[in-house]
Amino acid sequence: YEEEEHTLRELRIFLRDMCKKLANNRLFFMFTKPVDTEEVPDYTNIIKQPMDLETMMTKVDFHRYECARDFLNDIELICQNALEYNPASKHVCFRTSADKQIRHRACSLRDYAYTLIKSEMDTDFEEKCLSISTKR
Ligand SMILES: O=C(C1CCC1)N1C[C@@H]2C[C@H]3C[C@@H](O)[C@@H](O)[C@]2(C1)O3
């Protein structure tokens, strides 16, 4: 009913702000767009559910997130995909290897997103979203 729609509008505004903060952080530029399957032809053989911050922003607008937990699940997906496609064992391991930096940034993205949302989100608000989500 109207009160629930108001809550979900507020959630979308909050999640757009989170998405913007993450996408505008230069550390996370590599997660802002889908991996280019022309540039990386075997990517979809290995990663079955690609995800990126631009896609997440679109999902907010399409009402695909009913609570912060669903949003964080997609952040987790970005992180897991990066760790799976760029594993330590894959290349000859140079100390400053590109894949090592990707793995490090993926872990930073996950930790930063959780901390940002936990610090800026009212627990009661998330509980309200969860109760709406379960009823739908
Ligand atoms: O996994 C990723 C992104 C980084 C986090 C998501 N990629 C797979 C390719 C391997 C590595 C080097 C380039 O080939 C570049 O295309 C990618 C992009 O980085």
Question: What is the mean pLDDT of the segment spanning 89-111?
Answer: 81
How confident is residue 87, by pLDDT bands cut at 50, 70 and 90? confident
Whether ipTM > 0.85 holds is: yes
Q: How far is the CA of 35 from the centre of ligand 1 (A)?
A: 7
CB neighbour list of residue 101: distance below 8 Å, 6 or more residues apart: none
Q: Which of 33, 36, 40 to mutate to test the pocket of ligand 1 (most atoms within 8 A of CB)?
A: 40
CB neighbour list of residue 15: distance below 8 Å, 6 or more residues apart: 60, 65, 68, 71
Ligand 1 binding residues, C-beta < 6 A: 30-31, 35, 39-40, 82, 85-86, 98, 102
